[in-house]
Amino acid sequence: MKKLNVESFNLDHTKVQAPFVRLAGIKQGINGDEVYKYDIRFKQPNKEHMNMPALHSIEHLMAENIRNHTNHVVDLSPMGCQTGFYLSMINHTDYKEVLDILEKTFNDVINATEVPACNEVQCGWAASHSLEGAKELAREMLSKRNEWGIVFAEEK
């Protein structure tokens, strides 16, 4: 296959085994800053996906809560395929710490009593949310915490 510009388009999605967290790329700025992009894969590509209300709510909850555990977050964004998220962090190289930050964030989701910014003023589609769906996604991820470092099925 022809190599494409987008890193994830060059990943063989038939060989990965979700859930996992992988370093998907590093970009270096002209002043020496480095942005680390992580692929946080919740669902097995082309086999399952997150439903939109749950995905939308866990996005709000993770984006808000992850910043309570680190000041290195640049962005957290959902994948269009609805199987995971990209987490971008600046000048943060410790993969194990990223996993610990995600674990704390998923626990925050489970303990949440509401979805932050879930209203028409702060959200572009406020009617499409599911707190319980977000909690279930977080529980699923945490139940397989010991597998997050295993990206490819043959590594198991």
pLDDT digits (tens, 9 = 90+) for 31-54: 999 999 999 999 999 999 999 999
Q: In this structure, are residues 102 and 39 in contact, taking their beta carbons and an 8 Å threshold?
A: no
Q: What confidence tens digit (pLDDT) does each residue in 55-73 have? A: 999 999 999 999 999 999 9
Q: In this structure, are residues 3 and 10 in contact, taking their beta carbons and an 8 Å threshold?
A: yes
The Cα 108–Cα 30 span in angstroms is 36
The Cα 95–Cα 51 span in angstroms is 28
Split at pLDDT 50, 70, 90, the class of 10 is: confident
Q: What confidence tens digit (pLDDT) does each residue in 106-124 have? A: 999 999 999 999 999 999 9
